[in-house]
Amino acid sequence: MTSRLLMPVRSRGAARPAAVEPAADPTPGSTRPTAVLDLAHPLTAAFTARVREEAAARGDRTDRERLRTAHRLLMAEVRPVYSVEDRRRVSRTLRLGRGSCSQRMAVLEAVARSLGTATRVRGLLVDGSFWYPRFPRLRPFVPAEVLLAWPEFRLDGGWVPITGLFDHAGPSGEGGFANTGAETLFEAVARTGVEWDAPAACDGVSGACDLSAHLLADLGRFGSRDELFARHGQTLCVPARTLAEPVLGRWGAGAA
């Protein structure tokens, strides 16, 4: 049982548009700063500079490799929590040293734009029950739908989703993503393929994790996460975010 009481009005009875193939979608993306992706802020700029230095030391030659380096740094230095403020500025996430999947993905987008790589996001409405394993005692308060901004990067002449930054070829003995414990979606994309459209079930053998059964709606692609949240709102309504953030914003992933 999930809850709709804590969600914005826009989510109730929202349309369920069909998925749009990335190759056919005209959304251009951008390298420009936004309110969330505050590229010029000293903390954001300093983190990007560190990524450049670390990538150079590792011998990275492509932006894809540099983004992998940025992802590793974020996993090591920004603690995963359940923050519900999806429109938080990247600089604040870096200052706090903690962030949700969405917030850490936003940092990765900011680094990409600073490197000259255009980004955009795919808006996904995911079944709230997908998060039950993380909150076994709070199921009645889990939102019925969770709005997820899934980043895409313009690399090698095409759009690559965040999971496509990593090489998942070959078998994976560790299986797919169970959405439990300390590993969140942000960490999982580096270990196993995460697919929202694949027809086959996640079998824990191929290394690809099919999450399509949890996808309620594909809202299409947006030039930035700012545009997505401006149009569709965030997962929780303002009063719910105000009450939940002081607790969930410090609650480490896996602690539930």
Domain that holds residue 99: 9-248
Residue 175 pLDDT = 64
Q: What would the DSSP string read from start to end of 135-155?
A: -TT-GGGSBSEEEEEEEEEEE
Does a structural domain hold residue 20?
A: yes
| Token pair in block for residue 113 | 């734009």
With respect to residue 255, please indicate whether it lies within any of the assigned structural domains.
Answer: no
How many structural domains compose the chain? Answer: 1
Residue 179: the pLDDT is 84
| CA-closest candidate to residue 130, choices 202, 189, 178 | 178
Q: Digits of tens for pLDDT over the chain (256 positions)?
A: 444 445 554 444 444 444 444 445 778 899 999 999 999 999 999 999 999 999 999 999 999 999 999 999 999 999 999 999 999 999 999 999 999 999 999 999 999 999 999 999 999 999 999 988 888 888 888 888 999 999 999 999 999 999 999 987 544 445 678 888 888 999 999 988 888 986 544 444 444 578 898 999 999 999 999 999 999 999 888 888 889 889 888 888 866 5
Query: Is residue 254 included in any domain, yes or no?
Result: no
Q: What pLDDT sits at residue 173?
A: 41
Per-residue pLDDT at 24: 58
With respect to residue 1, please indicate whether it lies within any of the assigned structural domains.
no
Residues 6 or more apart from 126 whose CB is under 8 A from it? 145, 146, 147, 148, 211, 214, 215, 216
Q: Does residue 4 belong to any structural domain of this protein?
A: no
Residue 127: predicted pLDDT? 94
Which pLDDT does position 177 carry in this prediction?
Answer: 81
Q: Return the pLDDT at 185.
A: 93
In a domain, 253, yes or no: no
| Residue 198 belongs to some domain of the structure | yes
Tell me if 3 is assigned to some domain. Answer: no
Classify 163 as helix, strand or coil: helix
Predicted pLDDT of residue 134? 87
Count other Cβ atoms within 10 Å, centred on residue 242. Answer: 12
